[in-house]
Structure 1
Amino acid sequence: MNCGSTRRARWRAPATVLAAGVLLAACGGSGGERERADAAPVPHGHVEGAEETAEAQWRLVLTEADGGRVRTLDPATGETAPAGEGAGEPAGVTAVGTDGRFAYLSTPDGLRVFDGGTWTVDHGDHVHHYRADARTVGRLDVPEAPGVSGDPAVTALAAGGKVRVLDRKALDAGKVAELARIPGRVAVAHAGHLVVASADGEVAVHGRDGRRVSRLPAACPEPRGQAATRRGAVLGCADGALLVTGEGGAFRAAKIAYPGAVPRAERAAEFRHRPGSDVLAARAGDAGAWVLDVRARAWHRVGDGPAVAVNAVGADAPVLLLGRDGALRSYDPATGEELARTDLLDDPDGADGAAPVIEVDTARAYVSDPAARAVHEIDYNDDLRTARTFDLPFSPAHMVETGW
């Protein structure tokens, strides 16, 4: 039985993740699980029909620009495969989000829930990686593209002034079950609870059953965007970001203010980052990108022109920015210094209204190229070298990565 591993990379991995190949004695039996004499112990996070693997199993979930069909791309093999409902959506998919395993596809007719079939279970001192068949799970009546945040127990979908709380165990079993609905604009799953910001800027902590536990004294005016990090839940606000931390049932909030007045068009509206990391990136309108260092509790700017797509790898690792000129650039997140540049996309405006996306994991970045019907694999530790280009039989309108 595998007890967890990581892919090799030059950046410093979080202390909670152990290096590949390190043997963890009896990790499968921790947490009070009993080994039956006639059967092997069930690994933590195991789901019926899933295969435990030695390494993280990244999988890209892509939707076609024409018709909204879903396909998966396995970076390990370079193979693409149709998945989910073969007929697709007549009106297409308008947005896609993920909680690390499930992809949530917004359409004019509601939300499709799609199981990407790869995920990681993090126990702090070790991790388990799993893979299974990708499949469509079900549908939800959600009026707009939701903000998505999840943990091993629940996934919170914030849209239309409501936060829908889904049961992850039911999703694992192929069913959509709603545990609660909470009024709110933005929500983050954190420390066994949900941190929710309402339209009037009030921030409250709720249990996973939707019950309100406490109200925080700090406000988050005009909440937009959210992120879950190892240092706490981050909510995007008109005046910066609100960092909420919880330990032992006590929650605290600290404002990380913008460095001066920021026009609405340049405020961070969507945070992008390697899952769990403490460095976040967000587009800043026509003025490059914001970098939010949660550890240092500070904002920085990188780049000086409009960004088509951005993402952040993590502490002491580059921030990636794809510009309107088609060039991919990497920046030092602390100093803003440009580290590398490569001309990547001929037409960064995409095709059929589809915009490029940057996804990052522990060793590579993936940049979708709708106009060229391709996905580029980038080694961000090697001067943005293009490691591979995956040519596709379709134009990728949307892309998310599962496996984390």
Structure 2
Amino acid sequence: MTSTTRPRARYLALLGVLPLALAACSSGTEPAESTPSASTSEEPTAEETAAAPTEQATVSPRLVITYDGGLQVLDATSLEVVSDIPLDGFTRVNPAGDNRHVMVSTTGGFQVLDAGTWAEPHGDHAHYYTSEPVLTDVVYEADKPGHAVVHEGRTALFDDGTGAIAIVDSAAIAEGVSDDARQLTLPAPHHGVAVELSDGSLLVTDGTEEERSGVRVLDADGEEIAATDACPGVHGEATAADEAVVIGCEDGVVLYTDGELTKIDSPDEYGRIGNQAGSEDSEIVLGDYKSDPDAELERPTRISLIDTDSGELQLVDLPASYTFRSLARGDDGEALVLGTDGALHVIDDESGELIRSIEVMDAWEEPMDWQQPRPAIRVLEGTAYVSDPATNEIHAVDIETGEIWNSATLEVTPNEIATASGDVPHAHGEDDGAEESEEHEDHEGHDHESEGEDHEGHDHESEGHDHDHEHEHGDHDHEDE
């Protein structure tokens, strides 16, 4: 392992130097003249014309499913379709960070979808509401909307087309870019990612559309405090316990902890880790692992487990291959991998031992085109939601018992999945020990509690957001994390 730091370099000039292409607008076509919100236009907004909210007895989690032609919002308990929203083009979905909204990557940028489920704290308890889901008029403009990363109550949006980054309070995501938003533009556009930590430091990737290999860390004032160029093909991120951040490379990972960037090498000369899943309750980060640089489409059968405390990287053999939408984390830190054998493999994140394999669907084969539907997994408080495009089914799997406690067949072919827990999110800077809601939904005798997604203070999956796609060249696939 090698450690690299470089103080106060050229990235001091990033803040405010270049115009920001990421802004909010009242429509997807023309930029607003002032800092907008969902209620700034003269005409009633989509949210204002939606049905009035209904108070519920408990939290009402929902799923957002993409398909060719639109989005469907499902009740996460019954798996019934709550709303079908037509939308042209290939769409991506990522959590917005407030447990209510979802970011939809469209041709205009990151558009805010209100999943229609939320909680309002009231002293020692909360009130829960639902409404009709609606694709709002708020759009964070981006030429090529890429990774959306949620961490500690802040949401970072990365525009691959311009290198522009906007970081906003997750709780105010539906209001658009406000005066206190953090905005900067990198020297060159590339398929990148940004992560803001609780002390205001910001990790950003560095590179061009043709080549990217850099990771930079800026302090709260925009001054560079650490840097490395030893991460070829840099892609994806995941945050582990104690805010340790892992960035993927074609020959290992870069780890940021205790103010330093450290390279952890793969055991193979080419050992690509481009998609990761972290848990803020675990020091281990789950990553994929590809070792054939000449493969047109490598179907890996090994995963990587990166210990952010010791700096060690462990490879684990699996019974089957998997894809970039196969990785997730359980509430106890379990590494979850959805295999092409149709099973959900549950792995002890520390030992790498295969705990159990849960048969969920028939065996399947990864399609050559990364945009084509493939099985996907998202975790929401003890339940793994798994899609099966071959049958148009959605399955709810109890991770601890292995029971499939609900399944539903859709009238569309599901592709990507995002979740909206409808629970009370942690505010930016709020202590992790803050009181949470005590009310949870019980499904057929199982306590499948509903919490948030991706660093929202509830869900234990780092997604990465899913970040959902990785650009490789020639022999590589175009994937996401």
The two structures have a TM-score, normalised by structure 2, of 0.60
Superposed displacement of residue 358, structure 1: 1.1
Q: Which residue of 1 aligns with 2:380?
A: 361
Summarize the alignment of residues 4-19 of structure 1 with structure 2, pairs less than 5 Å apart: none
Q: Which residue of 2 aligns with 1:397?
A: 415
2:55–2:130 CA contact under 8 A, matched in 1: no
3-state SS of 1:329 partner: strand
Summarize the alignment of residues 154-169 of structure 1 with structure 2, pairs less than 5 Å apart: 154-160=154-160, 162-168=163-169
Summarize the alignment of residues 223-302 of structure 1 with structure 2, pairs less than 5 Å apart: 223-238=234-249, 239-245=251-257, 252-255=259-262, 257-263=264-270, 266-274=271-279, 277-285=282-290, 286-302=300-316
Q: Does 1:343 align with 2:351?
A: no
1:96–1:104 CA contact under 8 A, matched in 2: yes
Distance 1:333 1:230, change over 3 A: closer
Superposed displacement of residue 149, structure 1: 1.5
2:328–2:378 CA contact under 8 A, matched in 1: yes
Instruction: Tell me the C-alpha RMSD between the 2 structures.
Output: 3.5
Q: Which has the higher strand share?
A: 1
1:269–1:282 CA contact under 8 A, matched in 2: yes
2: distance between equivalents of 1:115 and 1:324? 33
Distance 1:191 1:121, change over 3 A: farther
Superposed displacement of residue 252, structure 1: 0.7
1: distance between equivalents of 2:311 and 2:127? 32
Distance 1:302 1:360, change over 3 A: farther
2: distance between equivalents of 1:172 and 1:50? 19
3-state SS of 1:307 partner: coil
Aligned length: 335
- Please identify, of 226-235 and 341-350, the stretch whose mean Cα deviation from structure 2 is larger: 341-350
Higher relative contact order (CA 8 A, sep 6+): 2
One-letter amino acid of the structure 1 residue matched with residue 226 of structure 2: L
Distance 1:136 1:229, change over 3 A: farther
1:230–1:278 CA contact under 8 A, matched in 2: yes
One-letter amino acid of the structure 1 residue matched with residue 245 of structure 2: V
Structure 1: runs of 5+ lacking an equivalent: 1-48, 246-250
Distance 1:348 1:228, change over 3 A: same
1:203–1:220 CA contact under 8 A, matched in 2: no
Distance 1:242 1:398, change over 3 A: same
2: distance between equivalents of 1:313 and 1:293? 17
Distance 1:395 1:217, change over 3 A: closer
3-state SS of 2:364 partner: coil
One-letter amino acid of the structure 1 residue matched with residue 94 of structure 2: G
2:152–2:198 CA contact under 8 A, matched in 1: no
Q: Does 1:142 align with 2:142?
A: yes
Summarize the alignment of residues 137-216 of structure 1 with structure 2, pairs less than 5 Å apart: 137=136, 138-151=138-151, 154-160=154-160, 162-168=163-169, 171-177=172-178, 179-183=182-186, 185-193=192-200, 194-199=202-207, 200-207=213-220, 211-216=221-226
1:329–1:338 CA contact under 8 A, matched in 2: yes
3-state SS of 1:231 partner: helix
Q: Which residue of 2 aligns with 1:92?
A: 90
3-state SS of 1:342 partner: strand
Question: 1:116-168 CA distances to partner (integer Å, 9 max, x unpaired)?
Answer: 3456899xxx9979655433232233233512213465421123262421433
Identity rate of aligned residues, in percent?
A: 21
Superposed displacement of residue 244, structure 1: 3.2
1:289–1:310 CA contact under 8 A, matched in 2: no
2: distance between equivalents of 1:333 and 1:114? 33
2: distance between equivalents of 1:127 and 1:299? 43
The two structures have a TM-score, normalised by structure 1, of 0.70
3-state SS of 2:86 partner: coil
Superposed displacement of residue 367, structure 1: 0.8
Structure 2: runs of 5+ lacking an equivalent: 1-51, 208-212, 291-299, 422-451, 453-481
2:342 to 326, 330, 336: 326
One-letter amino acid of the structure 1 residue matched with residue 168 of structure 2: D
One-letter amino acid of the structure 2 residue matched with residue 61 of structure 1: V
Q: Does 1:221 align with 2:231?
A: yes
